[in-house]
Amino acid sequence: MNPLEGLTVIAVEQAVAAPFASRQLADLGARVIKVERPDVGDFARAYDETVKGEASHFVWLNRGKQSVCLDLKSAEGQAAVHTMARTADVFIQNLAPGAAERLGLGADHLRAENPGLIHVSISGYGPGGPYSAKKAYDLLVQCEAGLVSITGTEAEPSKVGISIADIASGMYAYTGILTALIRRQRTGEGATIEISMLEALAEWMGYPLNYAMYGGTAPARTGARHASIYPYGPFRCGDDRLVFLGLQNEREWATFCQRILDQPELALDPRFSRNSLRVENADELRAEIETAFADSTAEAVAAKLEDAGIANALLRDMHGLAEHPQLRARDRWQSYASPVGELRGLVPPVTIAGASPLMGPVPALGEHTDAVLDEYGIVSAEASTDAT
């Protein structure tokens, strides 16, 4: 039996944050009914066409769900959601600020009809306050949360390359739902849960935030290097590829000098004898290290570092990740169905002994509308008609 088998989730969702949360539930066995707009659906369906004609975000975030098209601007569409929510366990939404309430799908409305319902809302900045109605896209929240200010090089700030604000809020929605399910099992009480992208990402900014509040200055932007430990980061090898390494203490530094650089005396060099000095003289030390690596490939340097017990990594691109030997050895890939045929995806990272993630099909737009509405006794022609 899958951990969440028998649970029903109604997801009025779009883009990344809420779909990321509900897909975790679907993989664990929950039935997720995804409510989409007629004709166009979740706008993430149209982000790109790179996965055999489907969008890369959409196939990642929406496997294992049922797609039901409803016109939520109509009284019939709103009534249909109410009907489904009356017997659901979880309702999750990330519509524009205030939209769920205007549509009669807020926590007060739905939990009055189903007190055991766990109602989850994800927004950019949370209700109340001067930003409550502000549009929130991932890059913009990265800026507001200060992440962009500490990411990138000294010359130029940079965003993180994935939708990290969406993912952070989606993960807190997922864990919040699981927490509320545990409480409901004990008390019978549902829950009203609110998550803001800003607050989720701000929580992840704990280290630089404390560093700045109590140290007076924010951590410097150092690209792929560490702001306060050295050597820790990328170094160029003889084949012009990068190897990344990280030293955490003086014992490792001495080992690195002796076994990797073949210069044991460098460990006591007054420029490099402790971490703060190595950070201060990073450019000189980088020259020493890259000179030592100049006659070796990145793979050879990584092997030598591994043999010496020095933490290391190769810089892999997306093809390298797709063919990663560790993921292959641990059998972390699984096929799942989609409207464009079989796709390959990573098994969810939490492995539960005795349970296998479902990784169900990616739904076509409206694929399950008639069957689901018939199941709930809803007249589908009225509920799913486009608004005029």
How far does the chain reach from its first CA to its final CA, in angstroms? 45
Over 50: is that where the pLDDT of 302 sits? yes
Residue 388's pLDDT band (boundaries 50, 70, 90)? very low
Helix, coil or strand: residue 188: coil
Q: How far is CA 139 from CA 103, 201, 207, 219, in A?
A: 28, 12, 20, 20
- Please report the pLDDT score of residue 324 as a whole number: 95
User: Distance between CA 235 and CA 225 in Å, rounded?
Assistant: 10
- Structurally, at CATH architecture level, domain 232-236+242-314 sits in 2-Layer Sandwich (3.30)
Q: For residue 231, say if its preceding peptide bond is cis, omega within 30 degrees of 0.
A: yes
User: Distance between CA 39 and CA 387 in Å, rounded?
Assistant: 11
Over 50: is that where the pLDDT of 51 sits? yes
DSSP-derived secondary structure for 267-311: GG-TTTSSHHHHHHTHHHHHHHHHHHHTTS-HHHHHHHHHHTT-E
Catalytic residue among 82, 226, 324, 368: 226
Q: 82 catalytic, yes or no?
A: no
Over 60: is that where the pLDDT of 64 sits? yes
**Backbone angle region of 377, left / alpha / beta, with phi > 0 → left and psi within -120 to 50 → alpha:** left
Per-domain residue ranges of the chain: 8-204+327-383, 232-236+242-314
Beta carbons of 138 and 164 less than 8 angstroms apart:
yes
Determine how many CB atoms are found less than 10 A away from the CB of residue 162. Answer: 10
Q: Smallest Cα–Cα separation from 340: which of 64, 49, 48, 38? A: 49
pLDDT digit string (tens) for 337-359? 999 999 999 999 998 888 889 99
Phi, psi of 25 (to 5 degrees): -65, -40
Determine how many CB atoms are found less than 10 A away from the CB of residue 347. Answer: 16
pLDDT digit string (tens) for 4-43? 999 999 999 999 999 999 999 999 999 999 999 999 999 9
The residues that bridge with 314 in the sheet, in sequence order, are 243
Quote the pTM value: 0.90
Q: Which CATH number fits domain 8-204+327-383: 3.40.50.920, 3.40.50.10540, 3.40.50.720, 3.40.50.2000?
A: 3.40.50.10540
- Please report the pLDDT score of residue 227 as a whole number: 80
pLDDT digit string (tens) for 152-182? 998 999 999 999 999 999 999 999 999 999 9
- Please report the pLDDT score of residue 226 as a whole number: 85
